[in-house]
Amino acid sequence: MLESLSEKLESIFKKLRGKGILKEEDIDAALKEVRLALLEADVNFKVVKGFVEKVKTKALGKEVLESLTPGQQVIKIVHSELCELLGGAYTRVHLSPNPPTILMMVGLHGSGKTTTSAKLARLFKKEGRRPMLVAADLQRPAAIEQLVTLGRQIDVPVFASHEARNPVTLCEEAVKKAKVNAQDVVILDTAGRLHIDETLMKELTEIKERVNPKEILFVADSMTGQDAVNIARNFNEQLGIDGIILTKMDGDARGGAALSIRTITGKPIKFIGMGEKIDMLEPFHPDRIASRILGMGDVLTLIEQAEKAYDRKEAEKLQEKILGETFTFEDLKEQLKKLRSMGPIENILGMIPGLGKMKNVSVDEREFVKIEAVINSMTREERRNHHIINGSRRRRIAEGSGTTVTDVNRVVKQYVEMKKMMKMFKGKKGVRLPKILPF
């Protein structure tokens, strides 16, 4: 996410940090490079111009130029202005005081609207709410089937009808059904087109007038850059939107849409899609994204994701096993599953300050699959006591897991090294293992 922009900005600010004293021409030169980096990232020209002017005004202040660390002060200003550019503060979805809260999902065909609707429903369900999905895209039969399948996957009811011809009537019936069944959040997955047309807007306007949604959320493919920004602006002018969800952010190395859309539409980004999996939808925190862009990591999001994967009691039980030297291959397998449930490993590394920028750090997800396969091929006794794993057992484990004896040896060696490292914590008073540790 935003990788190329992040790398360019990091290179620019590295030069600034290396200077003990900053002059006006140093700041001018740096901001010229920042301006170019943002334009290359497909950020709207007017947005770039306004951003650079604000940073320059603040960076040329006496308190910056005469400070002990002027380079760091400039970076701090850039971080602050990036936060403002992205929306300032995290904006939640507003819930209706009289349920159900009706959320209307709009956007062009192919933006990821149907999948995002299901992801959003999953988030509400995890918060203890009773969401219902509505398959209101009657233009595409496959969209109905897709939503029904996703709803089954997350155990959320889907209001759908293959016989329905009028999406407005369907949405009205869905809201009535939600009230009867005490569903407190109704998510309308409306139709999209390959482009904005009169028929689409008329249909969406009718749905808006008849069911009166609490919020209209525009779903945009972030990888389309300024196209996504322009389409969002058109939707806002013709329909009126309340927030934006950017999808495919994990593949958006440039970041033009994320950095332009808030300023151009005046509407906040509320969520970002970080992958195809149903659990890969994150609340959009401008300050955290600004930190990621500037290579400062995103520890808060990392901790939040870890807390979702790691239950407090489970974490304490794990700590007892580590300190009591009873950590087995079975425990290792369980921790690997929890680590992978937090999302792609490269995304996790990107949240750790400094680590996400290290070029020599590469993670092959297939290695985790290989380790799991090796552990699965062990007997119960072997998982609990690695000392009994001799040569013949290693050959059997290798054959059973579809790996080589060398692979098995490496897994056993890594486990033994891990156990040695864990011994360092034993006997040290007051030492508590971080709950986000994968092992």
* CATH number, domain containing residue 53: 1.20.120.140
60 and 169 in a common domain: no
Q: Does any domain span residue 402?
A: yes
120 and 264 in a common domain: yes
151 and 251 in a common domain: yes
Q: What is the pLDDT of residue 172?
A: 95
In tens, the pLDDT along 339-369 reads 766 666 566 655 555 444 444 445 566 777 8
Among 28, 60, 85, the domain-final residue is: 85
Its pTM surpasses 0.75: no
Number of Cβ within a 10 Å radius of residue 84: 16
Q: What is the pLDDT of residue 129?
A: 94
| The two structure tokens encoding residue 322 | 């580590």
Q: What is the pLDDT of residue 377?
A: 92
238 and 306 in a common domain: no
Map residue 282 onto helix, strand or coil.
Answer: strand
| The two structure tokens encoding residue 317 | 């039980």
Q: Does any domain span residue 295?
A: no
222 and 143 in a common domain: yes
Domain at 409, CATH number? 1.10.260.30
| The two structure tokens encoding residue 296 | 């400062």
What single DSSP character describes residue 224? G
Q: Does any domain span residue 140?
A: yes
170 and 240 in a common domain: yes
Distance CA 335, CA 342 (A): 11
Provide the residue range defining the domain that includes 48: 3-85
Distance CA 377, CA 386 (A): 13
Distance CA 322, CA 247 (A): 39
In the predicted model, what is the mean pLDDT of the chain? 83
265 and 326 in a common domain: no
In tens, the pLDDT along 193-246 reads 878 888 888 999 999 999 999 999 999 998 888 888 999 999 999 999 999 999
Q: Does any domain span residue 71?
A: yes
Q: How many domains does the chain have?
A: 3
Residue type, 308: K
251 and 121 in a common domain: yes
Q: Does any domain span residue 432?
A: no
pLDDT averaged per 10 residues in sequence order, the chain, 439 residues: 80 79 84 91 91 89 71 84 89 91 93 94 94 91 91 95 88 95 95 84 93 95 88 92 92 81 93 89 88 67 59 66 74 76 62 49 68 90 90 92 91 83 56 40
345 and 237 in a common domain: no
Contacts of 22 (CB under 8 A, 6+ apart): 16, 64, 65, 70, 71, 74
Number of Cβ within a 10 Å radius of residue 106: 25
Strands 281-283, 185-190: pairing kind: unpaired
Among 284, 315, 335, the domain-final residue is: 284
Domain at 215, CATH number? 3.40.50.300
Q: What is the pLDDT of residue 70?
A: 77
Q: Does any domain span residue 297?
A: no
Distance CA 229, CA 222 (A): 9
Place of tokens 């013949």: 392
Q: Does any domain span residue 429?
A: no
Q: What is the pLDDT of residue 300?
A: 56
